[in-house]
Every structure is written in structure tokens, then in C-alpha cells.
Structure 1
Amino acid sequence: MRLPIRAAVLTFALLAGGCSHVNPCYDASRSHHRQQGFANNYPSNPAYARPPQGFFAGWAGRIRNWSDDGSARLPLAPVPTVKPDLAFIHANTSEPALTWIGHASFLYQAGNGVNILFDPVFEERASPLPFAGPKRQQPPGVLLSELPRIDAVLISHSHYDHLSRDSLRALYRQAGGPPTFYVPLGIDLWLMENVTDGKREHIVRLDWWEKASLRGLDLHLLPVHHWSARTPWDRNATLWGAWAVTRPGFNFFFSGDLGYSKDIQDIAARFEGGFDLAAIGIGAYQPIWYRNSHVSPDEAVRIHRELRVRHSVGMHWGTFPMGQERIDQAPRDLALARRAQGVADDAFFVLKIGETWRAATRTGAAP
């Protein structure tokens, strides 16, 4: 169904409920804080500048994409999927393991009995509108009903393909009690309004470079170059970030969404020992101005090298048609980038949707 542009803009106006906001987390001592929200540490790359356009023209273009069925971005071959190894997932309490649910949604089992979900989105559309927006091309690799009890949910930012109200509501009501939600500044307030019925006790909010502890794990929120919004009127009202989950013997990095910036060198300087495993975005890099918000496969391999990652998994592809490239183009470009930069095939690969990478076996086939 195609949504008329004027009707869509009106719908957004109703959803927004206002046109201004004040940052309740504002701290004048922090350079990335603004009175109305947050800012990146470093300037955007001028080579990736978007052609000038007005406010309504920009949002009209987004809505037009949302109304598109994505046929021009269909894969050249079916995106690989596999039946999840639920027996292992439910029994595993001692081995680091990563299961790809789809797009940027992962189940990370930290190897100490802790089950963590990153950016869980199980809905059919990554959109505020039930009848328009990026539509899921493959079902989740693991269903909500198939998950083990989740101890923690880590959110990278507020975009609809990373922050889902309905998925988080379901997790909040899981058997055995709610998980703890670890979120960037400002998303805690959204959770209280939309998920936890005003309660804060299961929410931990962090600023960049802050960390929280969970049963022997350190959860670090890290600065990356991106932005946030859920309506046309709340751009950068909430913070965004990548995550590192560390414990003695194993470090994991989750990129969230990011454009390439000096933030990567800053992270590398803080984590001199590198990372054993990473999930790094490789999709939604066309047209070129998307690359101030997302990295290309070539830039993702560069991040893999600069962060000294032993094994990386490419994410943010194959599920929702977000960029203008075909939905399966990223793995092919990843293979070219890997070879150009001298990275082994088994060092940076993609999983099948539903597949589990296990530290003990170090599985993962290159595309």
C-alpha cells in the first residue's frame, strides 16, 4: 500500500506531539551534550555530504522509500537462513556464543550464564506506521517465544530498526521477570513512557565512556558517529552509541549504526587488547551520503583491523531494505574489501539468519 505524502506528514505530526524538546540529561561539562540534545564528537565527512534539500522534501523522500515495497533492492539469491540450534542456546551457560536473529538483532551469550539481546526487533516493519516502512524480508532467526530468559537488553539508539516498542514490551513481560535495559541517555525516558509503565528499576542509562556491571561483565557505552530520531521533530534528542561487553578472557564489540570517524581510534586506544568478537554493520551504505551514518563493507573491514578484532560478523543487511543497494549486496562487497585489505576469510564473515557462532568451534563461513 502506498501512503500519500501529505497524509504521511500529517501522521508524523500527530505522532510527534510537538516540535521542540529540551535535553533533560544536559551536562554543560560534556562536549557532545547540547541543550536540545546531543552531537557527534567529530565533523561529518564532507565527501559524503547529502545534496541540499528542505525539511519537508527530505522527509517526503524518506516516506516515499517507506511506501516502496523494496523490489528494486531484492536479493540476487535468497538470503541464507538456518534453523536455530535451540537445544544449544537453552543449555549454554559457559561458552561465548552469538546468534543472529536478523538485521542488528543478536542474542549474545557471554559465557558466564548471562543472556543478552542487542537491538531486538521482531516486528514485520521497522517503522512507526503499520502499513508502510521497511518490511522484513525474512522472519526472525529465533522467535521471541523461542528465546531463553533474557538477563539484559542493550540498545544502541532510537531508530525504528533498532528500538522496537512491541518487542521490548514483550521482553519486559517475559516469564521469570523483566530483563534489565541498558540504554543511552534519553532512551530511559522513552522506555518509562512506552515499555515499563513509568517504572525505572529495570533501566540503566549511560553516557559515552560510562560502564555498568552485570554478574562479572562490564557493559561499556562507546561514542560513534551517528544520530537519533523517531519523528521529524526529535532529531538527536536521545544519545546513540556502540557497546563493548567485556570480562576476563573475552571481549565483544557491537557497533550499532555508525559512520566511520576518529571515534574508532579513540575506542582502540581504550581497549588496547582488542576484541575477541565483534558485530559490525556492513549494510545501508548507498547512496553515498548514507556513509555519514553507516559504514560500507570496506570501512567495516577497516574498523575490524583498527579495533584489533579476532573474529567479526557482518550485520545490518539481509532483513530490512534500508539502503539503496540490493539487500544481499553487502556480503559480496565485504568479500572484495576483505581481500583488498588482507583480512582472512574466516576473520570477517557473515552468518546465516538463525545461525550461532560459537567461541569453542569458531565457526563461520565466508560468503
Structure 2
Amino acid sequence: MAVYSSVVSKLELAADVPEDAHLGAHHVKGNDGKTIKFQNPHPSAGDPPGSIIMTSARILWSMVTGEASRPDTSDVKIPAVKPEFLKTRTSSTVLRATWLGHACYFVEFPSGLRVLFDPVFEDRCAPVQWFGPKRYSPPPCALSDLPAVDAVIISHSHYDHLSHTSVQELARRHPKAHFFVGLGLEKWFHDSGITNVTEMDWWQDADLVLQREKHQDEEKTAPDTISARISCLPCQHSSGRSHRDQNHTLWASWAVKSGEKSVWFGGDTGYRRVPRVPLGVDDYGPEYDSLPRCPQFTQIGRLRGPFDLGLIPIGAYKPRWLFSWMHANPYDAVEIFKDTRCHRAMGIHWGTWVLTSEDVEEPPRLLKQALKTSGIPETGVFDVCAIGETREFPTVTQTSV
């Protein structure tokens, strides 16, 4: 197997960024002028949420009143298969993406680049493994089954996206892998003993160059050099691993381009804040269609798109009045898909842990309805797949919508 060393060059803000990018409206600065927290800068997020204690109280009250309930996972039939990764870096001429559950995807580029997004392989997405959301869909493989990993991209610090145990094992098994994270998270990685890390702000780019170490055993066909452009991009969410560090680190979506292929990773995001809506009323109907939408996805599509593949969240959205500002439902996801100018997309952020009150198998059903409403084919454009399944994405010469 060919072994690569990496060099990362973080770039200054390019010319092709929104006019307000230099203002840093998502930074909350203290009296000394230094950033101490982050915020969602657009009306689509609504007023800042209360404390984590207040949010927990709202969730508990919605369960007491019957508005929200824990969905049944006793007979879940989300399909799963054992992943099949490429045996060599140049075994395929198309982009390959393998869903490893929730928001975790392993993407193999035709250039030879291998990128892992939001790896969490633990049983529970929580500070401890004896309490908190427990998997109802096991991982389709172990971390030890992954081939060489070149880059690990973390969307934000919530436990269902960032696992201390998983990243430490990845760093041990793949010591040359480079981690890309939002502002403020570099220290957390250093404290975890991981030094190959680059933290970035929205609209910053970094160039990743992999150079083959020729003294190592080699794949004869492996390229000498593999390069990629990594872009940290906005989304609408929050961060925190306890009540003490809420929004102290930056949440982000990410774009990766290597060779002629590009992927946009939505991570975890909302699209617009929806108020309490009467049961059975469409919150995209005439009364609510004018609610502010997050403008950052259109900016991403215009300035960094189009993308060959979008990995877009579709789950953890009920009750809508409580979670819509930070979690997209399938109708939001389809709008994000169109805004970001993705040719194809796969749904993420569902099928693994119970985080909210919708039926765990509802997101794919609702996605088909949302696609139909937008006049997009129900299959072949924006899909879901079995956990562990690999999809291939050949070159597209024109947008799908």
C-alpha cells in the first residue's frame, strides 16, 4: 500500500466570497475585540436559543404534553450491508461514497484522495457510554476496516458528529491523516493528542497536498502526488459538548474538490425557523412560504458550486417549532440541494440514533414527497441508501434540476 505524507496550506479569504464575509457577523466578540463565541447571523435562525437547560426543559414539556414522543425502534428495518472499499487508490474512475451511518460518509475520489466525514462509531452519542442516545442501527464496519484515510472533516462539536474515542483511534491507525475543523476546535484536538489539525473559518480555503513516500511499499499505479482544495463554508446550527461551552466553537459545512470531482458536506444544519403550525398544515404553504430562508446556501452554490455530490441532512426535525432552526427536514433539504447546485445528493443525519420525535423511517418517505413537490425525480437524483452501501457518481455535464 502506498504511503503519503501531507502538507496543508491555509489560504486567506479569496475574492470569490460574499461581500459580508470579511465582517465576520457570525463572530461574537468580547470587550477586548476577540471572538469568544459564535452565532447564526441571519433572520432564518430566528432569535438565539436559550440555554441548554431551557432547551431540555422544552423538549421534556413537549413529551409530557404528548406533542412529542419517543419513536418506536423495536421493529426498524433500515437495510445495512457490509461496505466494499477500493483495494487501491486508482481502482475507479468515478466518485464513490459509502454511508457509514448518521452523518458519517467515506468518500473515495478518482484522484486517489480518501476523505472521512464526521466519524462516530460508538454505541451512544453522549459524554459517557452508559447514558444517552443508543444506536438502533449498528455501524456497518469497524474503524479498523477502513482503508488509508487522508483527511477527516468534522462539521461541529456535538456528540453525534464528534467522538473523542473515534478520532483518537483514527489518529492512531492513520497517523498521517489530517483533521479539518471549525474555529476553536483545534485546542480540543491538541488536548486529545492529535496535532495534524487545521482549524478554519467560514469561506476559508486550504490546499491539501499528499506526496507519496517512495521508500515505503507502493502500489505501482498510485500517483506520486494527490491534491485537494478544502473549503470551510457556512451552515445554520450550533455547537457545544456541555452547558459550559455552548457556541464556543464554530459549526460549518465543507466542500472538497480533488481532480475534477467535488463534494459538499452539509454536516448538520437548519434552513429556516418555523413557528408552531396547526396539525396538518404545510409549513411551506402560502401562509408560511415567506419565512426567511438561510441565504448562505445560495451563496455556496454560486461561489463554490456546482458540486458532483451533496451529503445533505434530512432527519431530526420534530417538533418543527423547536428544531427547524437547526435541523433541516426533507423539504428543507431539497431546497438546500437546489440552492447549493448539487448534481446529485445523498441523505444523511438519520437512521442511527433517536434524537427527535419523528418516526425513524419517516425521513426517506418525506424526501420522496418533497422531491415530487419540487418536480425532481423521486429516485436517481437525491437518494438514500443502505447503511454500508456505496454509490458511484459519474461525471455530470449539466445540473439535474
| Greater share of helix | 1
Shift of 1:40: 1.4
The alignment partner of 2:173 has SS state of coil
Shift of 1:83: 1.9
Q: 309-318 or 135-144: which moved more?
A: 135-144
State the partner residue of 1:238. Answer: 249
Aligned match of 2:201 in 187, 194, 207?
207
Q: Say if 1:81 and 1:41 are closer, same or farther in 2 by CA, change over 3 A.
A: same
State the partner residue of 1:183. Answer: 181
Partner amino acid, structure 2, of 1:96? L
Q: Does 2:270 correspond to 1:259?
A: yes
Unaligned stretches of 5+ residues in structure 1: 1-26, 363-367
Q: Is the 8 A contact 1:278 1:311 kept in 2?
A: yes
The alignment partner of 1:337 has SS state of helix
The alignment partner of 1:189 has SS state of helix
The alignment partner of 2:244 has SS state of coil
Alignment of 1:147-296 (within 5 A): 147-174=146-173, 177-196=175-194, 200=195, 202-215=196-209, 216-260=227-271, 261-271=294-304, 273-288=305-320, 289-296=322-329
State the partner residue of 2:40. Answer: 40
The alignment partner of 2:186 has SS state of helix
Q: Say if 1:119 and 1:209 are closer, same or farther in 2 by CA, change over 3 A.
A: same
Q: Is the 8 A contact 2:90 2:112 kept in 1?
A: no
Q: Is the 8 A contact 1:73 1:321 kept in 2?
A: no
Q: Is the 8 A contact 2:344 2:381 kept in 1?
A: yes
Q: Say if 1:87 and 1:254 are closer, same or farther in 2 by CA, change over 3 A.
A: closer
Alignment of 1:302-313 (within 5 A): 302-313=335-346
Give the distance between the partners of 1:323 and 1:234, measured in 2 at CA.
22
Q: Is the 8 A contact 2:90 2:110 kept in 1?
A: no
Q: Is the 8 A contact 1:171 1:178 kept in 2?
A: no
Per-residue CA distance 1:202-257 (angstroms, 9 max, x = gap):
11111100011123211100011111010012111000100011134221100011
Q: Say if 1:54 and 1:151 are closer, same or farther in 2 by CA, change over 3 A.
A: closer
The alignment partner of 1:353 has SS state of coil
Per-residue CA distance 1:146-189 (angstroms, 9 max, x = gap):
000111100000000000000000011015x2311111111111
State the partner residue of 2:132. Answer: 133
Q: Does 2:387 correspond to 1:348?
A: no
Shift of 1:265: 1.4
Shift of 1:72: 2.5
Per-residue CA distance 1:279-335 (angstroms, 9 max, x = gap):
100000111121100111011011112222111000100001112111111000001
Per-residue CA distance 1:23-63 (angstroms, 9 max, x = gap):
xxxx99522211321111213445xx79x977634345669
Shift of 1:145: 1.1
The alignment partner of 1:234 has SS state of coil
**Which one has the largest radius of gyration?**
2
Q: Is the 8 A contact 1:93 1:114 kept in 2?
A: no
Unaligned stretches of 5+ residues in structure 2: 1-20, 30-35, 63-68, 210-226, 272-293, 397-401
Q: Say if 1:31 and 1:158 are closer, same or farther in 2 by CA, change over 3 A.
A: same
Q: Is the 8 A contact 1:220 1:243 kept in 2?
A: yes
Give the distance between the partners of 2:340 and 2:395, measured in 1 at CA.
22
Shift of 1:141: 2.1
Q: Say if 1:101 and 1:78 are closer, same or farther in 2 by CA, change over 3 A.
A: same
Q: 155-164 or 91-100: which moved more?
A: 91-100
Q: 334-343 or 89-98: which moved more?
A: 89-98
Q: Is the 8 A contact 1:159 1:230 kept in 2?
A: yes
The alignment partner of 1:31 has SS state of coil
Q: Does 2:376 correspond to 1:333?
A: no
Give the distance between the partners of 2:311 and 2:128, measured in 1 at CA.
28
Partner amino acid, structure 2, of 1:30? G
Give the distance between the partners of 1:222 and 1:54, measured in 2 at CA.
26
Q: Say if 1:85 and 1:337 are closer, same or farther in 2 by CA, change over 3 A.
A: same
The alignment partner of 1:277 has SS state of strand
Q: Say if 1:104 and 1:165 are closer, same or farther in 2 by CA, change over 3 A.
A: same
State the partner residue of 1:114. Answer: 113
| Percent of paired sites with the same residue | 36
Bigger relative CO (Cα 8 Å, ≥ 6 apart)? 2
Shift of 1:122: 0.3
Give the distance between the partners of 2:331 and 2:349, measured in 1 at CA.
14
Give the distance between the partners of 1:101 and 1:45, measured in 2 at CA.
29
Give the distance between the partners of 2:207 and 2:40, measured in 1 at CA.
26
